[in-house]
Amino acid sequence: MPDANPEFTNSSFMFTIASNEQWVMHALLACAALHASWDAIVPKQYALIYNQSALRGLRRAVRVSHTEHCGDMILATCLSLGVFEDFYLAPISQSLTHYTALARVLEQQTMDVSEFDTLQFSILHWTALDSILYHFSTRLIFEKDVRVACSSFPSRAIEKYIKAIENEQAKPRPSSLILPVLGKLPPALFLLIYQMTWLSRQRPLETGFNHDLALRYVAEIYRLERGRIRSRFGKLSLTKDDNNMSNADIGTELYFLAARIFARKLENPQEICSSSPEITELLSKGLALLELYDGNARYGQFICWPMLILGCAVCPNADSGESQDCLSSRGGSLYTKTKAVIQDQLLRIWETSHSGHVKRTVNALERVWKAPGYFDRDTAMENYSETGCDSLDALIWETGVGRVWLS
């Protein structure tokens, strides 16, 4: 995150670590070369050669090392290879390979540790735990079968990490702690997103233990919102004049807003839809935030998950009279405008970041939006009536967002 504390944003220490082993340096160079290849600065082949060298070195290091005593070189390489997977647009089934490996190492490392002491964290450990939590929580929604990824999730390590962060943030300090990946957001919210995504694949959602979990998640989101320091933007009464918000502030608001949409859909999957008044209100606030977001800035891909959730709320079922009214005024429709802003922001973010997470989000939304029909086609209303599907249903589809309504 660009607003993270300086010790996290200065990555020169990574090259200090890498200077000791060629394969670690090649992991860093693979990311740099691949990113440059998208702008045709260097051939993509160079990046692949560096990546293969890093993989061979990592495998040798793991074979001769005890993973519970995994050194900074292995952590740095796994993190770099995870970023490489993202840039290389790895298939969804492979997009968590190195984060999954890293999660297993950290879970094994911390098995006998009763609690984490943040003073003993290296920057790499901060970043590794932050990255694992972020990537598992935001990418799980694309997985066809979540069981494999969930079986690798380092639940004990993450639980200790969240507790350590909460203890750290409770201390009096001159400035607030801004994490290397999660920024100003509490790690507990990302654990909640991970848990909600798992719950979205369970059946039936409406009864018994699953419904109780959904109710608990709704309450937990509100608890986390009440617990954070509210700015003057906390109530989300935004206009285009509110241009003093940083991307980190906007991202914080968008995550909480999107998490509320997701949780309410899980709590009441039959009744909550794109045209529900509370969803349209949240969508309207989300649109105001997206219009303020600078998609050309670094790390813009951080808001892909909120944009995915908001994008799943822009295609209401045309069987609803309220949806008919919204769709009849195509140019001024909240749904049409939100969709256009999401498309524009994703394009801007892609041109800056070349992040695979952007591509995954684009592909998923493209399929969700195509399923009931395009807003800008004359046949849109007819297609809605034929499918009878509300795009918010994509959030609880059993095989994941992006495969909804398509065989």
Report the C-alpha gap between 88 and 151 in whole angstroms: 25
pLDDT at 280: 94
Our CA dihedral for 138, 141, 147, 148, rounded to 10 degrees, sits at -60
The listed range with the strongest mean pLDDT (94-103, 232-241, 318-327) is 94-103
* Mean pLDDT to the nearest integer, 370-377: 47
Q: Is 194 exposed, middle or buried (0-12, 13-18, 19+ CB in 10 A)?
A: buried
Report the C-alpha gap between 306 and 312 in whole angstroms: 10
Confidence of residue 349 (pLDDT cuts 50, 70, 90): very high
pLDDT at 184: 85
* Mean pLDDT to the nearest integer, 176-194: 90
Q: What tokens were used for 166? A: 């909460």
Question: Within a domain: residue 260?
Answer: no
Residue 269 has phi, psi (to 5 degrees) of: -65, -25
Domain count, the chain: 1
378-395, pLDDT tens digit by residue? 333 333 333 456 889 999
Question: Within a domain: residue 40?
Answer: yes
* Mean pLDDT to the nearest integer, 349-355: 89
pLDDT at 208: 92
**More confident position, 266 or 229:** 266
51-68, pLDDT tens digit by residue? 999 988 888 887 766 554
204 preceded by a cis bond (ω within 30 of 0): yes
Q: What tokens were used for 366? A: 């493209």
Positions of E strands within 48-177: none
Question: Within a domain: residue 169?
Answer: yes
Question: Within a domain: residue 346?
Answer: no
Question: Within a domain: residue 298?
Answer: no
- Structural domain span for residue 30: 1-182
Report the C-alpha gap between 262 and 196 in whole angstroms: 8
Whether the Cβ atoms of residue 179 and residue 187 lie closer than 8 Å to each other: yes
pLDDT at 63: 74
In 3D space, the residue among 249, 13, 28 whose CA is nearest the CA of residue 125 turns out to be 13
Question: Within a domain: residue 4?
Answer: yes
Residue 183 has phi, psi (to 5 degrees) of: 65, -125
**More confident position, 221 or 167:** 221
Question: Within a domain: residue 73?
Answer: yes
pLDDT at 404: 58
Question: Within a domain: residue 49?
Answer: yes
Q: What is the value of pTM for the model shown? A: 0.85
User: Which residues does residue 3 pair with via DSSP β-bridges, in sequence order?
Assistant: none
Mean pLDDT for the chain? 81
CB neighbours of residue 181 within 10 Å? 22
Report the C-alpha gap between 37 and 349 in whole angstroms: 17
Q: Is 174 exposed, middle or buried (0-12, 13-18, 19+ CB in 10 A)?
A: exposed
Q: What tokens were used for 175? A: 């400035």
